[in-house]
A and B are shown apart, each in its own frame.
Chain A
Amino acid sequence: MLDLVWLIPALPLAGFLLLALFGPRLSRRAVALVGAGVVLASAVVSWLVAYSFLTSPPPGASYTQNLWTWMDVAGFQPRMALYLDPLSLVMMLVVTSVGFLIHWYSTEFMAGDEGYSRFFAYMNIFVASMLVLILGDNLLLLYLGWEGVGLSSYLLIGFWYTDPANGRAARKAFYVTRVGDTAMSVGLFLLFTQFGTLQIQDLMRKAHDQWGMVPPGGIATAAGLLLLGGACGKSAQLPLQVWLPDAMAGPTPTSALIHAATMVTAGVYLIARTHVLFEISPTAELAVAVVGAATLIVAGFSAMTQWDIKKSLAFSTISQIGYMFLALGVGAWSAAIFHFVTHAFFKALLFLGAGIVIEACHHEHSMFKMGGLRKELPVAFWTFTIGGCSLAGLPLVTAGFYSKGLIIWSAYASKGGALGLWAAAVFGALLTSIYTFRMIFLTFFGEAKSEVVKRPGTAMKVPVMILAFFAVVAGFVETPGFLGGVRVFSDFMSQALPDAVPRGSLAMSEWGSEAVVTLVFFAGLVIAYYFFLKKPALQEFVTAPAAGRALHRFWFSDWGMDWLYDKVFVQPILWFARINKSDFIDAFYGAVAAVTRALWVILRSTQTGRVRWYAAVVVAGTVLFVALALYL
């Protein structure tokens, strides 16, 4: 059964080709059938493969499918091979399953759109690229997938391209992630030149053998930091997080699939996949943890101040990925992947719920113009609330509680942990709770401010209900010791990723940590209740003073980073472009072209069409070469 793995990325790719070539000529029904069908097929194959992987594990808990060797020249042998291990297996299942639910949802959500087949073509190529990225056995395929998801992200953010603002958002996402991509490609080249192999597992083995024994040199740290740069770009972490809020310009299912559940976690995957490097270099590992901790707080504050429901969710995504980075940085590898799984469920759910709400309210994004939708949209309300509780970490019953609690505990207790990191994570949990319930209260409670013009049909309701189910139960595969101590997930992951190593002499128990997390959850709930439901006047009280207003604006604008980047990078480049209208670099290439053209004119004059001249040149050439041969 494992040898079916190649079908998993091939099916969505086939869907893309079909839709790209014949999409405009197909009926909407056929487009939906192809677009969602191939992802469903891919998900079914994934589960079959997973079943076979679990029931009869391959030796070494990994399976490599060598499709073909692309070329074999001078020792350079890039293979087209897929690599399946617990890490890629889990990600593959999430991508195909959540991907299918979102495709299903889209068949109704996008129903009125002109670019119906184009949308599904882009979504399919995204799923195919993401699967190549996850399953690729070598850096070449990893990079192919990495760029593929970047491309489809760009295409989907700018999906409604007639509005220039959407195009601008798409370009911004592309440029900013490109900064990270460049760092990453330099890192990958560095690894390739050091070890001479493209295969990731080989590379990690060699890195471990060569760099693991001696104290880490600068190169290991540099490679780790460069990869971290790539991860920061793709996963919207500080300081490259600025593109993700703008990416919300894309259709809501896109935001759910690409900019919440899957693509933005590619950075987490990259670091987990190359964890050996980070284990070798404590500096790089610490950097990951610090980036994660800083991001989760920074984005948490911003999420609290947004009026646009999708932007609030976008900052929340940034913040939650910050948790994953924190877990990676303290060496709690499987905790990061655990949170990736639960986050994929509840965040996709929240976005899809937001999509229902936005459609219901005349494409209104502002939460302050919604309200009271609890009665009108019961399915959206209940599922959104379940997703929100999971995000904020409602104790004991939600998946988010278990995954986030594990990260917070690891931030303190594992080898790379520290009290400061733990405190940051706890504070982030407070912020999460506040902004989550702010969203719920503003949207679904209070007085109704907008009439409901569209109610979701089956294709939109069923996927969110399924996601809501998983947003609750997905957490029970891994629970703390005092709550049953289920370790299914981490046992499975330990075949691919090392276990978190606890550090000695702890002043706090896991029980204590979870108690604090529970406490901040309720604190956040109460704060949100008072500020946004019970006494909205309290908001005025905080934002009325100049300091309060300035702070609000500061957080609202993503800590002024857009402004900063605009001043430091964008404006100078635009200024330079203005004064350099007749580009001096172009002048060089223009000269090259002119010289080439001049040479062509000269050469043309040799082409007289006269045989005697041709013969004369043959003779002259012969004489020259004979002379050279004789006198050299």
Chain B
Amino acid sequence: MTVRNLTALAPLIIVSATALAVMMAAALRRNHAAAALMTLGGIAAAFASLRAAAVLRPLAIGSSEAGQLLVIDGYGLFFMGLILLGSAAVVVLAHGYLERQAEHREEFYILLLVAVLGSMTLAASSHFVSFFLGLEILSVALYAMNAYLRARAISLEAGIKYLVLAAASATFLLFGMALLYAEFGTMSFDYLAGQMTAGIYPNRAMVTGGIALMVTGFGFKLALAPFHLWTPDIYEGAPAPVTAFVATVSKGAMFALLLRYFYSTGAYRLHSVFVVLAIIAAASMLAGNLGALLQNNLKRILAYSSIAHMGYVLVAFLAAGDLGPEAVTFYLIAYFITTLAAFGVVTALSPADRDAGRLGDFEGLIWKRPALGGVLTLALFSLAGIPATAGFFAKFYVVAAGADSGIWRLIILLVLTSVVGLFYYLRVLVAVFSRPLESRELAPQVPFASAFVLAGLSALLVWVGVFPGTILRAVKAAVGSLRY
């Protein structure tokens, strides 16, 4: 380990150290605010260290004959930054949420930091080993986070379901990796890329079959159809801040890896892989948008909506050329902002004994809580892709990328299913804007920090929708460093 390596790894190291520090602090003396503050501080420090790491890029870490484990490049650092910012928002929202709970609260932040560590590892990994390690670090933390509110049966159920299904799909992933290793004798993306682009595969079945098995692992984590069935149950059952994390950070990290893996190995150019991914994208858009249609629980609606949105991202992913990865990255940013805002409102509105979710909970929100109602309206507009919000521009980008590479059937399906999507987003808005019949129990006042985060997210939503230029340049620079 050289100083260079340590500097490059600083973001990861700082997050790990913070997790340990929070654990020690909780052991000495429980203090919720201190734990949250330490977590935020750690995340901020990690974020600040990205800049130092950026000077060194690109830098391969852990190089050996087996290949490099991690690569710290502009692309990876960009996604780490996105993960850290998203996590910071989740921490603030979670603090307000956990204040109302009787559980031990401090451990939540340890789990969250571990999950962040796993996500960041995924964003930087360029090797099957680091990939699987990152994935498991993330997943194991998520099992516990899903079931964090032990007193709630529905939370426990979510945790167990996620555990069983995630473990099962991870085995497919491992088996796929094994097949590829058996064929090529390497687990490094670089070596794989060299051999695959050279077209040297004695046994084609091993390669395409292996990739197809890996797709199951990806698909599960990203909640793509037909691996999506867990999503509504876990979204509904998990505590709202955890759902926000699962919906954004964990999926963003997975997509970061997916882009790197498929683009650097050129696997997406294989015809059969393309077809499989196209089917998955189409199935996800259909399953997500149709599933949400008459759903009466906002958390479940957002679950289905996330399935659909991941389908849209996959369409961008399948678009060839530079535009594809740019559209994916931009879409993920818009999706992070929007989803965090939506779940932020759910988190803020959740009373102590249950999570807000039923549409009834949101009836007349705009009249009772104009600010929260406004944020939710903006978020739903963005999810539906109404102009002047981040979601519109993101979708426009995806369509432009798709049209550019001529994948018309997917684009047309995207447009049609988006129309279906409009219906259920508007259904929520009808509830938000209807006159409340009776006054329902409401969560206490939104804490200042959460209000600040929600206001910031709403401002970002509009800013990215109206002036996408700045973000666009950053995305282009980041994707540009992803050499494939």
Binding site for B on A (CB under 8 A): 68-74, 76, 596-597, 599-600, 603-604, 606-607, 609, 611, 613-615, 617-622, 625-626, 628-630, 632
With A71-B468, A617-B229 in contact, is A629–B211 under 8 Å at CB?
Answer: yes
A621 touches B205 (CB 8 A): no
Q: How far is the CA of A621 from the CA of B213 in the complex (A)?
A: 10
With A73-B400, A621-B216, A626-B213 in contact, is A632–B227 under 8 Å at CB?
Answer: no
A190 → B minimal CB distance (Å): 20
Question: Chain A residues with Cβ under 8 A from B323's Cβ?
Answer: 73-74
With A596-B290, A597-B294, A625-B212 in contact, is A632–B226 under 8 Å at CB?
Answer: no
Which of the residues A74, A613, A628 comes within 8 Å of B212, measured between beta carbons?
A628
Which of the residues B208, B230, B393 comes within 8 Å of A614, measured between beta carbons?
B230
A600 touches B293 (CB 8 A): yes
Binding site for A on B (CB under 8 A): 160-161, 164-165, 168-169, 172, 205, 208-209, 211-213, 215-216, 219-220, 226-227, 229-230, 232-233, 271-273, 275-276, 279-280, 286-287, 290-291, 293-294, 323, 393, 396-397, 400-401, 403-404, 420, 466-469, 472
With A597-B293, A611-B164, A618-B227 in contact, is A625–B216 under 8 Å at CB?
Answer: yes
Q: Counting chain B CB atoms within 10 Å of each CB, which of A74, A606, A618, A632 scores highest?
A: A618
A622 touches B172 (CB 8 A): yes
A618 touches B393 (CB 8 A): no
A622 touches B213 (CB 8 A): yes
Which single residue of chain B is at the shortest CB-CB distance from A615?
Answer: B168
With A603-B290, A611-B164, A614-B229 in contact, is A622–B404 under 8 Å at CB?
Answer: no
B404 touches A74 (CB 8 A): yes
List 4 additional A-B contacts (Cβ < 8 Å) besides A611-B164, A622-B172, A626-B209: A71-B468, A596-B420, A603-B291, A607-B229
Which of the residues B205, B219, B393, B469 comes within 8 Å of A69, measured between beta carbons?
B469
B165 touches A629 (CB 8 A): no
B227 touches A626 (CB 8 A): no
Question: Chain B residues with Cβ under 8 A from A607's Cβ?
Answer: 229, 232-233, 291
B209 touches A630 (CB 8 A): yes
Which single residue of chain B is at the shortest CB-CB distance from A621?
Answer: B226
Q: Is the interface of A mostly helix, strand, loop or mixed?
A: helix
Q: How far is the CA of A589 from the CA of B227 in the complex (A)?
A: 31
A73 touches B290 (CB 8 A): no
A628 touches B230 (CB 8 A): no
Which of the residues B233, B271, B280, B396 comes within 8 Å of A632, measured between beta carbons?
B271
Which single residue of chain B is at the shortest CB-CB distance from A618?
Answer: B227
B271 touches A73 (CB 8 A): no
Which single residue of chain B is at the shortest CB-CB distance from A614?
Answer: B229
Which of the residues B209, B291, B397 comes within 8 Å of A629, measured between beta carbons?
B209
With A600-B290, A600-B293, A618-B226 in contact, is A629–B400 under 8 Å at CB?
Answer: no
A615 touches B164 (CB 8 A): yes
B28 → A minimal CB distance (Å): 39
Q: How far is the CA of A630 from the CA of B276 in the complex (A)?
A: 11
Question: Chain A residues with Cβ under 8 A from B271's Cβ?
Answer: 632
B469 touches A68 (CB 8 A): yes
Q: How far is the CA of A126 from the CA of B416 in the complex (A)?
A: 35
Question: Chain A residues with Cβ under 8 A from B161's Cβ?
Answer: 611, 614
10 contacts between A and B (CB under 8 A): A68-B467, A68-B469, A596-B420, A599-B290, A603-B287, A607-B291, A615-B165, A620-B226, A625-B280, A626-B213
Which of the residues A69, A73, A596, A617 comes within 8 Å of B226, measured between beta carbons?
A617
Question: Chain B residues with Cβ under 8 A from A609's Cβ?
Answer: 233
Q: How far is the CA of A626 from the CA of B276 in the complex (A)?
A: 9
Question: Chain A residues with Cβ under 8 A from B466's Cβ?
Answer: 70
Question: Chain A residues with Cβ under 8 A from B293's Cβ?
Answer: 596-597, 600
Which of the residues B276, B397, B467 comes within 8 Å of A625, measured between beta carbons?
B276
Question: Chain A residues with Cβ under 8 A from B403's Cβ?
Answer: 74
B318 → A minimal CB distance (Å): 15
Which single residue of chain A is at the shortest CB-CB distance from B323?
Answer: A74
